């Protein structure tokens, strides 16, 4: 059969994210560093380019957490930076969620939990920050969408009213509610009926509403615990695009079992196993050329 020379590639003026999504070949996806997708990630595309800036917001310093006599997190240290997405990966029961919940002191609500080490927020030990205030500055979105049984507007307004010294009127709160919904990529879909019951939104919309509610507190750090596990692929992509956009405004930490998701959206990845942080590195380095054998085995699917 006669070989036909393919036509020349047409080059377009696109930004880095568009390049990664639209013109990277399936087996050689753009990843912000010019490296191919790691083995086992054929077809995965990096949705994220190099950070524009990086500001250290939190510092985990030699943290250990135990429940009764079982050590769930063992001497973990790592930075959390605004301008970046940090993904924590590892098999179930490895300590990811315990570490995540420790960042805003939710873990201490468990009666048997004990701690050692430090967590700093803007160089202040979080144990010295009043828990309610800390959870406004370090907010969390959970695995299952959990909107309040009230209107879309009131889900956001509730947070704003809780922060105020007196109850504010609806008209006064409108700009802040609209801003939070806009940042979460939901405003255009709900702007014509903000009195719509939140529980009647789709699953993906409910999760974005929960993210908007978290952002309404103007946090410095946003914690996401498996935020896409209950969502369909289309809603997952919307949430992932949102996470990448949010990293410039807040430090983002996400726990995920989806390794391709971590590869798509994370700047840095921490791999945890049996309570230990086995490896912490850039996403492309950790998935493409992991230093530790256990990391290599996990990302290649040998266990997990």
Q: What residues pair up with 56 in beta bridges, in sequence order?
A: 81
Mean pLDDT over each residue of the chain, to the nearest integer: 87
Running DSSP on this structure, what letter comes out for residue 197? B
Which of 5-14, 84-93, 227-236 is predicted with the least confidence, judged by mean pLDDT? 5-14
| Domain assignment present for 237 | yes
Residue 39: pLDDT band (50, 70, 90) is: low
pLDDT of residue 282: 96
| Domain assignment present for 9 | no
How many Å apart are CA 154 and CA 96, to the nearest integer?
Answer: 32
Residue 47: pLDDT band (50, 70, 90) is: confident
pTM for the model stands at 0.85
Taking a C-beta distance cutoff of 8 angstroms, is the pair 111, 269 a contact? Answer: no
Question: What average pLDDT score do residues 162-178 get?
Answer: 81
Residue 129: pLDDT band (50, 70, 90) is: very high
Helices (runs of H) and strands (runs of E) counted in the chain: 11, 10
How many Å apart are CA 267 and CA 17, to the nearest integer?
Answer: 14
pLDDT of residue 304: 67
Tokens of 31: 């990843």
pLDDT of residue 116: 96
How many Å apart are CA 290 and CA 304, to the nearest integer?
Answer: 16
Given a cut of 60, is residue 11 above it in pLDDT?
A: no
Q: Tell me, rounded to whole angstroms, the distance of Cα 279 from its chain centroid.
A: 18
| Domain assignment present for 4 | no
| Domain assignment present for 11 | no
User: At 21, which helix (H) or strand (E)?
Assistant: helix 16-22
Cα–Cα separations (whole angstroms), residue 250 to 124, 199, 222, 286: 18, 27, 6, 23
Question: What average pLDDT score do residues 274-279 get?
Answer: 97
Q: Residue 239's domain is classified under what CATH number? A: 3.40.50.300
Cα–Cα separations (whole angstroms), residue 27 to 30, 35, 42, 109, 195: 10, 11, 5, 46, 46
Structural domain for 202, as ranges: 16-299
| Domain assignment present for 10 | no
Given a cut of 50, is residue 194 above it in pLDDT?
A: yes
| Domain assignment present for 156 | yes
Given a cut of 60, is residue 28 above it in pLDDT?
A: no
| Domain assignment present for 69 | yes
Tell me the DSSP string of 203-232.
Answer: HHHHHHHHHHHHHTT--SEEEEESTTTTS-
pLDDT of residue 88: 98
Given a cut of 50, is residue 23 above it in pLDDT?
A: no
pLDDT of residue 34: 44
For residues 55 and 19, the model is more confident at 55
Domain count along the chain: 1
Question: What average pLDDT score do residues 68-93 get?
Answer: 96
pLDDT digits (tens, 9 = 90+) for 130-167: 999 999 999 999 999 999 999 999 999 999 988 764 56
Which of 8-12, 250-254, 275-279, 283-287 is predicted with the least confidence, judged by mean pLDDT? 8-12
């Amino acid at each position: 059969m006669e070989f036909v020379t393919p036509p020349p590639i047409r080059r377009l003026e696109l930004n880095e994210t568009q390049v990664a999504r639209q013109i990277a070949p399936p087996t050689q996806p753009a990843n912000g560093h010019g490296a191919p997708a790691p083995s086992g990630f054929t077809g995965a595309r990096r949705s994220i380019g190099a950070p524009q800036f990086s500001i250290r917001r939190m510092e985990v310093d030699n943290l250990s957490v135990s429940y009764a006599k079982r050590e769930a997190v063992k001497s973990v240290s790592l930075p959390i930076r605004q301008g970046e997405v940090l993904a924590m990966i590892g098999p179930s029961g490895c300590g990811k969620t315990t570490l995540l919940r420790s960042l805003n002191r939710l873990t201490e609500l468990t009666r048997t939990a004990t701690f050692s080490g430090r967590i700093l927020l803007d160089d202040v030990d979080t144990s010295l920050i009043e828990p309610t205030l800390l959870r406004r500055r370090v907010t969390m979105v959970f695995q299952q969408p959990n909107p309040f049984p009230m209107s879309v507007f009131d889900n956001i307004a509730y947070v704003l009213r809780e922060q105020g010294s007196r109850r504010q009127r609806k008209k006064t709160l409108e700009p802040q509610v609209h801003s939070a919904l806009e940042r979460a990529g939901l405003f255009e879909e709900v702007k014509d009926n903000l009195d719509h019951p939140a529980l009647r939104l789709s699953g993906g919309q409910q999760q974005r509403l929960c993210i908007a509610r978290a952002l309404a507190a103007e946090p410095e750090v946003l914690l996401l615990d498996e935020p896409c596990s209950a969502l369909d692929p289309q809603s997952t992509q919307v949430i992932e695009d949102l996470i990448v956009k949010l990293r410039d405004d807040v430090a983002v930490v996400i726990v995920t079992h989806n390794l391709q998701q971590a590869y798509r959206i994370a700047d840095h990845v921490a791999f945890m196993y049996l309570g230990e942080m086995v490896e912490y590195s850039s996403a492309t380095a950790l998935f493409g050329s992991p230093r530790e054998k256990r990391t290599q085995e996990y990302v290649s699917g040998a266990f997990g």
